[in-house]
Amino acid sequence: MGHYVITVAREYGSGGKSIGKMLAKELGIPYYDRELLRMASEESGISERLFADADENFKRTLLFKAARGAYKGEVIPPDSEDFVSNDNLFNFQAKVIKDLAAKENCIIIGRCGDYILREMPHVLRLFVHAPLPVCIENARAFQPNMDDDELRRYIQKVNKRRANYYNYFTGRNWRDAGNYDLCINSAELSWENCVRLVRSYIEIKGI
């Protein structure tokens, strides 16, 4: 295997995050999720808490925002009043993702990684999904105090936030298979077999 990056978009409860971690261990490469907030903070000099707060608060307000269009890669300089805007915080996260992808093999979870790296060669863009009943069962381990109806609503809410976030920063439909190289229904395979499938795909594609 040469230089490659795997981006993982996933429905809540589908196991995409766990599959990403298992892939990282299997392949012996770094795994980046919320670590990207810390790295973007170090890159920009902006408080990590501000990145984290904006990440959550912004997702809750996306229903009231029109898509901003394609991310173009520019960051706003510190002397601008928009330096700590939500858009610029995303720009710094995107810069970190591009820098990581340029220098090392790694796995990037979420954060529109597939779109940010769309022009980079040797990127495997993965989308993991599963039927809602399966997602409910998987989510129960993380939300043990919720009943089935509460879990269903929670999963739908999280997926809607992710879809809106993706649409705002890319102008695309999060669930559109055309955005990805490989879409996996994790309910049809064990997570271990999902890892084997992705590894086989990398080897067959020759990246």
Quote the number of domains for the chain.
Answer: 1
Q: With CA atoms as reference, report the closest residue to 157 among 35, 34, 13.
A: 13
Residue 48's domain comprises 5-205
CATH code: domain of residue 98? 3.40.50.300
Instruction: Give the span between the Cα atoms of 47 and 67, in whole angstroms.
Output: 26
Amino acid at 180: Y
Tens-place pLDDT, residues 9-56: 999 999 999 999 999 999 999 999 988 888 887 877 776 777 776 665
Q: What is the pLDDT of residues 152-189, one digit of tens each?
A: 999 999 999 899 889 988 999 999 999 999 999 999 99
Q: Indicate the pTM of the whole model.
A: 0.85
Annotate 151-176 with b (16+ C-beta within 10 A) or e (fewer).
Answer: bbebbeebbebbebbbbbbbebebbe
Looking at residue 15, what DSSP letter applies?
S
| Block residue for tokens 């077999």 | 193
- Owner of token pair 């809106």: 164
Of 85, 92, 121, give the one whose Cα is nearest residue 2: 121
Residue 81 has pLDDT above 90, yes or no: no
Q: Which two tokens stand for residue 55?
A: 């990440």
